[in-house]
Chain A
Amino acid sequence: MAEEVGAIVAQLDQARELAFSNTEMFPQVVKQILNLVNHPSIEIQRWCGLFLKKAFTSEPKEVPKGVIIDLAIDALVPAKTLAQTKDLEVFKAVIDLSIILYKLVFSYVADNDGSHAIWDSLRNLKNDLITKFDSQFPFEPSYDKEHDQVRNLDAKLELLKFLFTVIDYQSRSSSTRFYSLARVNPQHTLIKQGPMEAEALALLEKVLAPIQDEILVTPLVTAVMNHLAVVVRRKRQFLDRVIPVLESFESNSKLQSNYESLEAFKLSKKYCDRTLRCLLNYMSKSQIIPPAYQNAVNRKIATLTSRGDDIRKKNILEASPDDTNIKKRKYEGFENPSKKIKTLDYKHLYGLTDVNSDLNNFDLSTLPQHILVSMALTALQRADVKRLAAALEIVSSRYSEVVKGMSQVKSEAATGDDEEDDDDAAENFTSETTYTVPPPKSLSFQEKKEHVKMIVDNFFGLSEKNGDSQEIVKKQDNGSVSKELTKVAVKTWNRDSWLLLLTRLATRGMYTIDGDESSQDVAQNEQLSDIIRQALFDYFLANIHERVDTTIEWLNEEWYSEKVTNEEKLRDEIREKWQQKYESDPNSVDDMERKIEQEVASTPVDTPRYNKWCQKVLDAMIPFLEPTDRKIFLRMISDLPYLNEKMLSGVKSLCADPARSKLGFLALQFLVMYRPPIKEACFNVLRELQSSDQEDLKEEASKLLTKYGQ
């Protein structure tokens, strides 16, 4: 591999000489290099990155602009590929390359509306690099956000260039001197003004973040300030955002980082203040500060100048009474985050504080058990979940490392001289031996019934406890971990969740795929399901008026499950029939699938189980209806998924009852108006009533029949 890479690099060096000395060969060489970025060798990827950066930043003058743009378009995907390489040198080269590609391709797309694929590639590359500004790429993040803030600055300083380039191109400029969004056709279908400007503003917020942070990362803060010189000159529309941020920058209110000494912090403040003053002076001389801000900016400059004069007169590294005003940022990392331990003991395995801390020498086993338990529980309750998870990850890595080492030791010992005892042990152990847990004993049908009843009782018990949910949450307010667990549980459980579970259990959970009705298993499962259904029915009976909604929900679930199941069964039967017909006489069956669908659609699908339970519900409900129950009854008959003539017999009995006939006729009228499939059945009921010997029934029925279509 090493020799191969060396040979390739030698060839690549020749190719580079050729490309830059012979203009005609340049495009071909570049294209060949673009194909090479996927090579697994980091060295070759680095070579490609540096070559492409040079190719696009200092290409030979004789190469036509159009050729460069074509190559830039071809380079978008390879650039994104290289951007995933975890190597700082490659990454920096890719950033510079991407800046050029972005400028070239953006203006190309602007001039060639409809370049969807090219625009997508450019956006993918852009979004990838923007995302990396908030990460530690090309390195791994540590366990402390602050630690990550103060390092990998090389990559971040480079990425700032890309972010500022995107801000520049995606927002309008105050002048027409440089390329900007202002030059893009407002009707462009891909580069839309609004979203582009909005994204530029969002990126501006991102680059302003280091200035507003609570600590000072001096290279980053000063780099942002210096770079803002471009934004403030070209994008006057952003001044309303930038100037307040600069004005409110106050180094004396920043916190000292845990990763810098007090002396370094003092120097940091001095450096950042000086850079800010330079920027504000530059803005002032350029006459770009709006009148509304001029007084504030002048005051800021005066303050910074005065502070600088004071500093010049003394040695700021010396201890000073002012040092007491300096506060440190709260430490959130681990003092000892190493994933390898040198000493094999529990202290080093679990210790995340300073290895040399005296606290680590305290012997906790001298404390009484109940105090230890109390301390542990309190600590767990207070621990931040993410932090605890990170800590456990460190301990886990250490443990894995140790175990790995120990297993190696064992394997070494295993290769030593064997003794008789070892031989005996080896004989007893066979690697092919697999141990299995015996299968669980099958439940008898009677036992199954008892378990189903137990489950049902538990669910109904749960429904009685709905009122306690809030109490449960409140009781755990002090413990964050417990609170989180309880909160999660409660969030997934609401007042009617128990109904949904029982309903699904009855209608689907007990269902057997093999639908042989004569099978004993099917019959037994049906009995088990009916246990649940009877429980739901009894629940409805206990309080009809308040449980109409839950019952409607159950019956809808019943109908739907049965409908889907039976329709599937019907389709299978019809398909089998047409299959046989096709096999006996292929010519007589021209389009089998269409015929199957036609027959399925024209064949009624019955729901006898639903019909049975729906009938029971109506029969149980109607005798107890009062004239004032109009609302719940109408809701019931309007929301039930299916009604037939037999079910309407109950309504008929309502009409015959003088005290409730109004409710009965109102229900029939409602059904005629709003449930066309049942209209004919309603008319039949009305005709029966019309032929009765009671004059008032006859009259009311005739009226409805006349009005609604007879």
Chain B
Amino acid sequence: MESHKQLRDAGFEVSSFGTGSSVKLPGPSIDRPNVYEFGTPYEQIYQDLISQEYRKMYEANGLILMLDRNRQVKRAPEKWHANAAAGKFDLVITCEERCFDSVLEDLMMRMNNKSEEEEAKDVRQVVHVINVDIKDDNENAKIGGKGIVKLVKMINEYREKEKQRKVDEGQEDQYPVIMEDEIMKILTEWQRDHVHLPTLYSASYY
């Protein structure tokens, strides 16, 4: 959600999802999390936590603030595996290796689980899946969010920068700059500057 906020503020068209079976938030102790169904409005979750006796603890660890941020971004948490209505994406960024695996597996599942009628008129779309490993706490989420915004900007702006570089160096190569050809250079360049945020990448379809 932090990345969603920062990307949206940066002007990108963005959606966000979770890959778990339900929404889990820290509770009074590590073995007693607060669990909600995907689709439960953030406003409702917010009110629920405020009304609990552990409210002060939630305020102290930033949970209340996080939920306040989330409800400003969108209505409710969404489940990745049920996001067909949102259409198809060019780029999917995950923040945990388990989520990366889950997304790839889900894409494989979707390619195999369409109805026959859907299959007959379906044209699969290429989707680039990138994982940026972010530790699951507020401070690292902010750092990771900035990194992700930088990465998306690099992907978006690489074409123009590369064109300019070719002009400056006097290359007459008429070959255009194609993002798919450059994705490894972009990821390598970004990774060099963000060694603490390891990456994964895969090109898939759905």
Chain A residues within CB distance 8 Å of chain B: 53, 56-57, 88, 96, 99-100, 103-104, 107, 139, 150-154, 157-158, 161, 177-179, 218-220, 222-223, 225-227, 229-230, 233-234, 260-261, 263-264, 267-268, 270-271, 274-275, 277-279, 281-282, 285, 311-312, 315, 317, 338-340, 342
Q: Kindly list chain A residues whose C-beta atoms are within 8 Å of the C-beta of B205.
A: 161, 223, 226-227
Contact of B111 among A107, A153, A229, A264 (CB under 8 A): A229
Residue of B nearest to A272 (CB): B202
Least CB distance from B70 to A in Å reads 29
Contact of A57 among B97, B121, B172 (CB under 8 A): B121
Q: Kindly list chain A residues whose C-beta atoms are within 8 Å of the C-beta of B203.
A: 157, 218-220, 222-223, 226
- Of residues 80 through 105 on chain B, the ones whose CB sits less than 8 Å from some CB of chain A are 97, 100-101, 104-105
Q: Kindly list chain B residues whose C-beta atoms are within 8 Å of the C-beta of A158.
A: 126
Contact of A270 among B181, B195, B200 (CB under 8 A): B200
Contact of A230 among B101, B111, B120, B195 (CB under 8 A): B111
Q: Kindly list chain A residues whose C-beta atoms are within 8 Å of the C-beta of B180.
A: 153-154, 157, 219
Q: Are A157 and B126 in contact (CB under 8 A)?
A: yes
Q: Kindly list chain B residues whose C-beta atoms are within 8 Å of the C-beta of A179.
A: 116, 119-120
Least CB distance from B169 to A in Å reads 11
Residue of B nearest to A275 (CB): B202
Q: Are B184 and A218 in contact (CB under 8 A)?
A: yes
Q: Are B172 and A338 in contact (CB under 8 A)?
A: yes
Q: Is B178 an interface residue (CB 8 A)?
A: yes
Q: Are A315 and B178 in contact (CB under 8 A)?
A: no
Q: Is B192 an interface residue (CB 8 A)?
A: yes
Cα distance A657–B109 in the bound complex, in angstroms: 97
| Pairs across A and B, CB under 8 Å, 26 listed | A88-B178, A152-B178, A158-B126, A161-B124, A179-B119, A218-B183, A219-B183, A222-B204, A223-B126, A223-B203, A225-B202, A226-B204, A227-B111, A229-B111, A234-B112, A261-B185, A263-B188, A270-B200, A271-B201, A278-B104, A279-B108, A281-B101, A282-B105, A311-B198, A312-B97, A338-B171
Q: Are B200 and A274 in contact (CB under 8 A)?
A: yes
Q: Are A88 and B176 in contact (CB under 8 A)?
A: yes
Least CB distance from A66 to B in Å reads 14
Least CB distance from B186 to A in Å reads 10
Least CB distance from B97 to A in Å reads 8
Q: Kindly list chain A residues whose C-beta atoms are within 8 Å of the C-beta of B178.
A: 88, 151-154
Q: Are B126 and A230 in contact (CB under 8 A)?
A: no
Q: Are A278 and B188 in contact (CB under 8 A)?
A: no
Cα distance A226–B129 in the bound complex, in angstroms: 11
Given A219-B203, A226-B202, is A281 in contact with B181 using a C-beta cutoff of 8 Å? no
Cα distance A271–B105 in the bound complex, in angstroms: 15
Contact of B202 among A103, A234, A274 (CB under 8 A): A274
Least CB distance from A289 to B in Å reads 15
Q: Are A222 and B202 in contact (CB under 8 A)?
A: yes
Q: Are B121 and A218 in contact (CB under 8 A)?
A: no
Q: Is B191 an interface residue (CB 8 A)?
A: yes
Given A96-B123, A223-B205, A226-B205, is A342 in contact with B184 using a C-beta cutoff of 8 Å? no
Q: Kindly list chain A residues whose C-beta atoms are within 8 Å of the C-beta of B121.
A: 56-57, 100, 103
Q: Is B3 an interface residue (CB 8 A)?
A: no
Q: Are A340 and B184 in contact (CB under 8 A)?
A: no
Residue of A nearest to B107 (CB): A226
Cα distance A342–B172 in the bound complex, in angstroms: 11
Cα distance A285–B175 in the bound complex, in angstroms: 43
Least CB distance from A620 to B in Å reads 74
Q: Are B198 and A226 in contact (CB under 8 A)?
A: no
Q: A151-B181, A154-B179, A222-B202 are in contact. List 19 more A-B contacts (CB 8 A).
A: A88-B176, A100-B121, A107-B120, A152-B178, A153-B178, A154-B180, A178-B119, A218-B183, A219-B183, A229-B108, A230-B111, A230-B112, A263-B188, A264-B185, A264-B188, A267-B184, A278-B104, A279-B108, A338-B173
Q: Are A99 and B123 in contact (CB under 8 A)?
A: yes
Q: Kindly list chain A residues whose C-beta atoms are within 8 Å of the C-beta of B176.
A: 88
Q: Are A340 and B201 in contact (CB under 8 A)?
A: no
Q: Are B200 and A103 in contact (CB under 8 A)?
A: no
Residue of B nearest to A277 (CB): B101
Q: Is B170 an interface residue (CB 8 A)?
A: yes
Cα distance A342–B184 in the bound complex, in angstroms: 32
Contact of A271 among B116, B126, B202 (CB under 8 A): B202
Residue of B nearest to A276 (CB): B202
Q: Kindly list chain A residues whose C-beta atoms are within 8 Å of the C-beta of B109.
A: 282
Cα distance A317–B193 in the bound complex, in angstroms: 11
Cα distance A104–B141 in the bound complex, in angstroms: 48
Q: Are A100 and B123 in contact (CB under 8 A)?
A: yes
Residue of A nearest to B110 (CB): A229
Cα distance A230–B204 in the bound complex, in angstroms: 12
Q: Is B187 an interface residue (CB 8 A)?
A: yes
Least CB distance from A152 to B in Å reads 7
Counting chain A CB atoms within 10 Å of each CB, the highest count among B116, B175, B187, B188 belongs to B188
Least CB distance from B188 to A in Å reads 4
Contact of A263 among B111, B120, B192, B204 (CB under 8 A): B192
Contact of B191 among A151, A317, A342 (CB under 8 A): A317
Q: Are A161 and B123 in contact (CB under 8 A)?
A: yes
Q: Kindly list chain B residues whose C-beta atoms are within 8 Å of the C-beta of A161.
A: 123-124, 126, 205
Least CB distance from A586 to B in Å reads 71
Least CB distance from B205 to A in Å reads 6
Q: Are A312 and B116 in contact (CB under 8 A)?
A: no
Given A218-B201, A223-B204, A227-B205, is A275 in contact with B104 using a C-beta cutoff of 8 Å? yes
Q: Kindly list chain B residues whose C-beta atoms are within 8 Å of the C-beta of A230.
A: 108, 111-112
- 4 A-B pairs closest in CB distance: A229-B108, A226-B204, A153-B180, A223-B203
Given A158-B126, A267-B188, is A229 in contact with B175 using a C-beta cutoff of 8 Å? no
Given A88-B176, A226-B104, is A315 in contact with B112 using a C-beta cutoff of 8 Å? no
Least CB distance from B99 to A in Å reads 12
Counting chain A CB atoms within 10 Å of each CB, the highest count among B107, B179, B181 belongs to B181
Q: Kindly list chain A residues whose C-beta atoms are within 8 Å of the C-beta of B126.
A: 157-158, 161, 223
Q: Are A177 and B116 in contact (CB under 8 A)?
A: yes
Residue of A nearest to B101 (CB): A278
Least CB distance from A495 to B in Å reads 54
Q: Kindly list chain B residues whose C-beta atoms are within 8 Å of the C-beta of A229.
A: 108, 111-112
Q: Are A139 and B175 in contact (CB under 8 A)?
A: yes
